[in-house]
A and B are shown apart, each in its own frame.
Chain A
């Protein structure tokens, strides 16, 4: 299998879950150093692995990376699209470059990697499975993070269409709409005062454990879920759901003293 952005964070959690299930794991990252760090952790689980550098916004680079992965590990039959970037910023302060970076890594990257994967599976006459890392805020908007609000929703909506396009070829496509899964490289994992304030705001009473996300992502690609395709599964401890009819007073994001996300 191949995971994009697999060197750290949620991508690494996906990669580890696939490795636990017995897969050979190609770890793709912008930075080869980070991909190699992730691959070392996967190798420690006893799985065959290979680290690669790739900019998922370039179709040529994506094709080359698939060539490299298949040369080392054999045909790629499962794909996890995780590559993405995200940071709190007011919409009026998002530069064209920042907008392009966040949206194109997630939107173009997911499309290009998925299409490359599908062309190879169709050419071989074999099916496969794709899982996309989407987010719980795709149904509500995400004030303070407009670029990611757009990008993550595009991943979820293309999931359904890619699934329809490739169902005749036996390629399944699903997504996990993930809530807060703090890790060393996430904004929420880097807070000075820890994750306790996040725990309190979530109906389940805690943030998610990163391996819970990895397990569900990998499960959607296994024969256990052989008939599932085109689905977006929310895994967020109830975080995206409304708490009450009455809401706290509205504070425009630019007036929040603790930053665009409201706590940062």
Chain B
């Protein structure tokens, strides 16, 4: 089956905070405008899969940095995005992207677990605002990640919210 997602994100303004070339490419190919300015329809927050250390070697500052990027910034960013959507009277989509719970160290285990249940919680709290909240936890960074993110950002996924999704077998 040959399929392309041409036009799936036409007219949508998407801010991809953090780096994912695959997600950026897929969103552009689907017609999205990537920007961090102005009115946004979709906020994607990516934390790259980093190195892992045994728990007893993680300094508190490292722990805090990991939780800050992997959890705190995500919550506060989603909150701001949702506030802006409500102020404009429009719906939107939030997508968190990061490593699986057990892929790295204890810092990631804590952050990703918290993030998963936060995804489910915000998905329900903001459902009637038309704001969807989903999460991809994976080690993958290729085309499937991009296409899955583009799907979740699109209106074709209008009935998907509060979902935590992996890609590879061990995600």
Which residues in A have some Cβ–Cβ distance to B below 8 Å? Answer: 18, 21-23, 78, 160, 163-164, 167, 179, 203-206, 208-209, 212, 215-216, 218-219, 221-231, 233-238, 241-243
Contact = CB atoms under 8 A, between A and B. Distances in A.
8 contacts: A203-B127, A216-B157, A224-B151, A225-B148, A227-B145, A227-B168, A235-B159, A235-B160
Interface stretch (B40-48, B76-84, B136-144): B136-144
A241 B123 contact: yes
B55 interface: no
A216 to B, nearest CB: 7
Interface of B: 1-3, 5, 120-121, 123-124, 127-128, 140, 142-145, 147-148, 151, 156-163, 165-169, 171
A183 to B, nearest CB: 14
B147 A237 contact: no
A231 B160 contact: no
Given A225-B147, A227-B144, A233-B165, 7 more contacts: A163-B169, A164-B169, A203-B123, A216-B160, A224-B3, A230-B166, A242-B124
A235 B148 CA distance: 14
Given A203-B128, A229-B168, A242-B124, A224 B162 contact: no
B1 A223 contact: yes
B155 to A, nearest CB: 10
A196 to B, nearest CB: 16
A231 B144 CA distance: 13
A238 B3 contact: no
Contact of B159 (A22, A179, A223): A179
B123 A228 contact: no
